[in-house]
Amino acid sequence: MSYQIISIAGLLYIIAMPLYIIYLLTKKDKIGYSATAALCIGILIHLFGFIQRFKEMYDINHSIIRSIPITNLYESLVFFVLCLVIGYLILEWKYGKKGFGVIVSIIAGIAIGLTELLGITKEVQPLVPALKSNWLLAHVTLSFISYAAFAISFVAGLFHILMISENRKSFKYILSTTILALMFFLILSVIIDMATRANQNSLKIFHSTLGNSSPFVVILSWSALIAFIFVFWRWGEVIVRIFTEFKIDANLLEDITYKGIAFGFPLFTIGGLVFGAIWADQAWGRYWGWDPKETWSLITWFVYAFYLHAKFIRGWSGAKTSIIAVVGFLVTIFTYLGVNLFLSGLHSYGSM
């Protein structure tokens, strides 16, 4: 089955994370290459799985355009990871820097982990009539490519904030180290959740840590989380030092933050908002209806419009703009996952 193949790719992405960390700490080129190799092999397996899934869907739908596997939450998460890792590998190849491979592999790992832990179906499902449209391909692929671009700008923006913060008391420093700590905790929790699962049905996010039935484990997990935040806060400069040693400077990070948004924003506008509106117009008879998904897409759009105006008209630079980029991606995540999990609306194909 295609999802088993994709799980193997997910495993490789998770393996890439410690490899990148070891590389950054030891500076041994061989380990750096093996980390990149893990991602590259992961992508090849992922693409193979993607094609397998396409074939499985084609057997049901008999239409090439409508068999691209991007029709439910599982497939979209997987497609997001595919775009993210490919985007990162292009960046690594272009700039020759492996600095934030760690965080990219963490995001990829969390996304693949969520497909296991949210209890969503991984089976190939037949298309419901509303999704039978050629706009599906254009709308969904462009949206997720832009999400991946926003993710890369988030990673670069986060490190940019950390790089230029003056001391441990500054808001920038606390913000960036806390988010990094939360991401490390989340990926570890996801890994432990998957490693300790008794059976498929008992799977739930945080079931082995913050949401465990034993109060002891819960207290331990919370303490671990706080310890993570403290450790990142206390030794955050180590990251700055390592980045400096690898000649990743604040300017480069700011530039990548901007490029991610400059690339993602037009794609999001055309694919997410415009194509979405056209499709809604054809399927539901209205181009805009303040559905939660539509509304949150507009909010995402406003946040990134804010970024561009602050940068180009107001002449903001440095931490202020990068914080907007970080907030922008958090809003993007809510638009993508939060709306499906917490709010109801017409985009229910993406729910569980």
Partner 1 sequence: MEKLKLENLNEKIWNFFASVDLAVALFIVISIAAAIGTVIPQQLEPEATIRFFSKFLSMDTSLKIHDIVSLLDLNNVYHSWWFTFLLFMFALNLIVCSIDRLPNLLKSYKLLPQALSMKVLESMPLKRQLILSDVSNLKEKVSETLERKGFYVIFFETPEGIQLHAKKWSKTRLAVYLTHFSILVILAGALLGTFFGFRGHMNIVEGTALDFIISDEGKTIPLDFQILCEKFEVEYYENSAVPKAFRSYLKILEKDKPMMINGKETVILEVNEPFSYKGFNFYQASYGFQPTEHAEFRFTFFHDNNKKIPINVKFEEKVRIPNSSVLFSVIDFSPALGIDEEGRLFNMTTDMINPAVLVEFEAQGKKTQQWILKKIPQTWETPYGKLRFDELWGAQFTGLQVRKDPGVPLIYFGSILLCIGLFVSLFLRPMNYFVIIDKNKVIFYSPTLKGKVTIEKELNEIIKKLKGEEK
Site string for partner 1, 245-264 (x = CB under 8 A): ------xx--x--x---xx-
Name the residue nearer to partner 1 (CB basis): 206 or 316. Answer: 316
Contact 270, 142 (CB under 8 A): yes
Closest among 295, 302, 291 to 327, alpha carbons compared: 302
User: Closest separation between CB of residue 5 and partner 1, Å?
Assistant: 25
Shortest distance, position 27 Cβ to partner 1, whole Å: 23
Q: How far is the CB of 55 from partner 1 (least distance, A)?
A: 18
Stretch that binds partner 1, among 126-134, 154-162, 166-174, 227-235 (CB under 8 A): 126-134
Q: Which is nearer to partner 1, 159 or 296 (CB)?
A: 296
Least Cβ distance, residue 22 to partner 1 (angstroms): 28
Tell me: does residue 133 bind partner 1 (CB under 8 A): yes
Burial 77-115 (b: 16+ CB within 10 A, else e): bbbbbbbbbbbbbebbeeeebbbbbbbbbbbbbbbbbbb
Instruction: Look at residues 37, 13, 15, 199 and name the one whose alpha carbon lies nearest to residue 108.
Output: 13
User: Please, which residue, 215 or 285, has the CB nearer to partner 1?
Assistant: 285
Query: Secondary structure of 66-91 in the HEC alphabet?
Result: HHCCCCCHHHHHHHHHHHHHHHHHHH
| Contact range with partner 1 by CB under 8 A, out of 37-45, 98-106, 215-223, 304-312 | 304-312
What single-letter amino acid sits at 158?
A: L
Alpha carbon distances (Å) from 352 to 51, 164, 229, 344: 23, 41, 32, 11
* CA angle (275 as vertex; 270, 281 as ends), nearest 5: 145
CB of 211 to partner 1, least distance (A): 20
- Six-digit token string for 144: 């997720």
- Which one of 18-26, 75-83, 211-219, 283-291 is the stretch in contact with partner 1 (CB under 8 A)? 283-291
Which residues in 194-253 contact partner 1 (CB under 8 A)? 251-252
Stretch 307-346 residues interacting with partner 1 (CB under 8 A): 308-314, 317, 339, 343
Based on CB atoms, which residue is closest to partner 1, 245 or 281? Answer: 281
* Share in percent of the chain as helix, strand, coil (round to 5): 80, 0, 20
In the block, tokens 């819960």 appear at 218
Least Å from the CB of residue 226 to partner 1? 27
Q: Which residues of the chain form contacts with partner 1 (CB under 8 A)?
A: 60, 125-130, 132-133, 251-252, 255, 258, 262-263, 265-266, 269-270, 274, 277-278, 281-288, 290, 292, 295-296, 298-299, 302-303, 305-306, 308-314, 317, 339, 343
